[in-house]
Amino acid sequence: MSDFSLLQKIAIWALPVLFAITVHEVAHGYVASRLGDRTAQMMGRLTLNPLKHIDPVGTVLVPLIMLLLPGGFLFGWAKPVPIGYRNLGNPKRDMAIVALAGPLSNLIMALGWALLLRLAVALLAMMPWVAQPLFFMAQAGIVINLVLMVVNLVPLPPLDGGRVLVGLLPDRQSMTVAAIEPYGLIVVLLLLTSGVLGRVLHPIMQSLNGMLLFVVGLGGSA
């Protein structure tokens, strides 16, 4: 996709990015509601309408900048769904479960896009006008969801992996890790834009992508 113009890249990536970050946040809110906190539900955030979740910086500006950077990871985020920590039955444990729901949703979506990629490959000869756009969009869907899953599992608050770590550590250590949260996103963005995080996570991404393609019967052909 590196040969595409910016407008072509936006056309390919817009839907997968919006869907990935929207479902990611809805997954957090849905699991929280199942564990006793209905805050997101009462505020109308358990909806797949992306307008309810768009963050001007994280959903629009950051992905656009990442598209312009050569070789960078495309990354973004939506407005976090509100979670009432004290409404959960076991707040420390349940917050870790709520945090894991987001990356898990991205894994499921990546598999769904891989199945659509398989469909696009099957349609290439018969309906190229449908198959070619679907092919590139499905590739984008796989990539953005794997990126969101892997990056969010980095054990640094406010990423989901950081919240899981806070839930697993003893109280004193968890408070120390939680104190990093105001600066964590800045650190992640610096690592992403510098390419450091991309170089570290790229082998993981390649392995996961290869596994998904194998599962849907494409091997390494796509």
Catalytic residue among 21, 25, 152, 208: 25
CB 109 within 8 A of CB 88: no
User: How many Å separate Cα 13 from the centre of its chain?
Assistant: 13
Q: What is the C-alpha separation between 121 and 36, in angstroms, rounded?
A: 43
Identify whether 181 is a catalytic site residue: no
Q: What is the C-alpha separation between 69 and 58, in angstroms, rounded?
A: 16
Work out whether the CA dihedral 120, 5, 12, 191 comes out positive or negative. positive
Burial 205-215, CB ≥16 within 10 A → b, else e: beebbeebbee
- The tokens of 103 are what? 């990356």
Catalytic center residues: 25
